[in-house]
Amino acid sequence: MGQQIHSLIEAARRRNVTVRVVPFSVGIRFGMLTPFVVFEFPDKVDQDVLYLESPRGDLIIRDKASEIQQYRHAFDQLRKISLGAADSMAFLEKVADEMA
């Protein structure tokens, strides 16, 4: 687990990567239990796509705009309740030090 945390810290140092930590104190929120990705495309002709992972199999949703919007909103909410980038890095470095 320590190596995974170090990998996150290294990834967060890249310009195109942002790592944010959601503290346990906020509790469980929609979007935290199942990994998901909302793919957005610059060409308006291309529809957004929702990709969900689950133990029962992966799911790709293209034609349910309201469901895609629900996950986009969940992502925005998770970002709002997460620690900021600097605080997230400090948290990860503290945890990594404690594991060493």
Read off the pLDDT of residues 30-52 as tens digits, 9 standing for 90 and up: 999 989 999 999 998 899 999 99
Both 65 and 32 in a single domain? yes
Sequence-distant (≥ 6) Cβ neighbours of residue 12 within 8 angstroms: 18, 19, 85, 88, 89, 92
The whole domain housing 5 covers 1-21+83-100
Q: Which pLDDT does position 99 carry in this prediction?
A: 87
Q: Coil, strand or helix: which one is 34? A: coil
The percentage of residues in the chain with a pLDDT greater than 70, rounded to a whole number, is 100
What's the domain count of the chain?
A: 2
- Residue type (1 letter), 96: A
Both 48 and 88 in a single domain? no
Q: Coil, strand or helix: which one is 39? A: strand
Both 38 and 4 in a single domain? no
pTM for this predicted structure:
0.81
Q: Which pLDDT does position 21 carry in this prediction?
A: 96
Q: Which pLDDT does position 100 carry in this prediction?
A: 77
Both 13 and 31 in a single domain? no
- The span from the CA of 24 to the CA of 50, in Å, is 26
